[in-house]
Amino acid sequence: MTTEAAPAPGAPARFTHRQIMVTMSGLVIAMLLAMLDNMIVAPALPTIVGDLGGLSHLAWVTTGYVLASTASTPIWGKLGDLFGRRITFISSVVVFLGGSALAGMSQNMGELIAFRAIQGLGAGGLMVGVLAVIGEMIPPRERSKYMGLMMAVMPVAMIGGPLAGGFITDNFSWRWAFYVNLPLGAVALVVCWFTLAKLPRGTGKAKIDWLGAGLLTVWITSLVLITSWGGTQYDWSSPQILGLIVLTVAAFIAFVVVQRRVAEPIMPLRVFGNVNFNLSGGLAFISGFAMFGAVTFLPQFQQFVQGSSATNSGLLLMPMMISAMVVSLASGQVISRTGRYKVFPIVGAALLTTALGLFSTIDVDTSKTTTALYMVILGAGMGCLMQTSTLIAQNSIEVRDIGAGTGASTFLRNMGSSLGVSLLGALYTNSLTDSLSGGGAALPGEANQMTPAVLKSLPEAAQRVFQAAVTDGVTVLFAVAACVAAVGVVVALFIRQVPLRGHVKAEDVVAAEV
Of 141-145, 203-207, 319-323, 506-510, the range with the lowest mean pLDDT is: 506-510
Is 180 a residue whose pLDDT tops 90?
Answer: no
Of 86-100, 437-451, 499-513, the range with the lowest mean pLDDT is: 499-513
Backbone angles phi, psi at 351, to 5 degrees: -65, -40
Q: What is the per-residue pLDDT for 144?
A: 64
Alpha-carbon gap, residue 415 to 84, rounded angstroms: 26
Which residue intervals of 196-304 are DSSP H helices? 210-229, 239-261, 275-287, 293-295, 298-300
Helix/strand/coil for 234? strand
Q: What is the per-residue DSSP string for 330-348?
A: HHHHHHHHH---THHHHHH
Q: What is the per-residue pLDDT for 440?
A: 53
Q: Is 13 exposed, middle or buried (0-12, 13-18, 19+ CB in 10 A)?
A: middle
pLDDT band at 302 (very low <50, low <70, confident <90, very high): confident
Cα dihedral 395→400→403→409 (10° resolution): -40
Alpha-carbon gap, residue 215 to 267, rounded angstroms: 12
Q: Is 264 exposed, middle or buried (0-12, 13-18, 19+ CB in 10 A)?
A: middle
Note the pLDDT tens digit of each residue in 329-376.
Answer: 788 778 877 778 888 999 999 999 999 999 999 998 888 889 989 989
Contact present, 140 and 123 (Cβ < 8 Å): no
Q: Which of 195, 197, 53, 186 is nearest to 112 (CA)?
A: 53
pLDDT band at 5 (very low <50, low <70, confident <90, very high): very low
Kindly report the CA angle at 32 between 27 and 37, in degrees rounded to 5?
Answer: 140
Q: Is 107 exposed, middle or buried (0-12, 13-18, 19+ CB in 10 A)?
A: exposed
Give the residue-averaged pLDDT of 75-96: 83
Helices (H) and strands (E) in the chain, counts: 22, 0
Contact present, 348 and 290 (Cβ < 8 Å): no
Percent composition of the chain: helix, strand, coil (DSSP 3-state, to 5)? 80, 0, 20
Backbone angles phi, psi at 234, to 5 degrees: -135, 150
Backbone angles phi, psi at 332, to 5 degrees: -65, -40
Q: What is the per-residue pLDDT for 235?
A: 82
CB atoms within 10 A of CB 429: 17
Give the residue-averaged pLDDT of 473-501: 87
What DSSP designation does 138 have? Answer: S
Alpha-carbon gap, residue 430 to 433, rounded angstroms: 5
Contact present, 514 and 2 (Cβ < 8 Å): yes
pLDDT band at 449 (very low <50, low <70, confident <90, very high): low
Q: Which amino acid is at 20?
A: I
Q: What is the per-residue pLDDT for 510?
A: 33
Distances (CA, A) of 500 to 146, 348, 388, 446: 15, 20, 12, 55
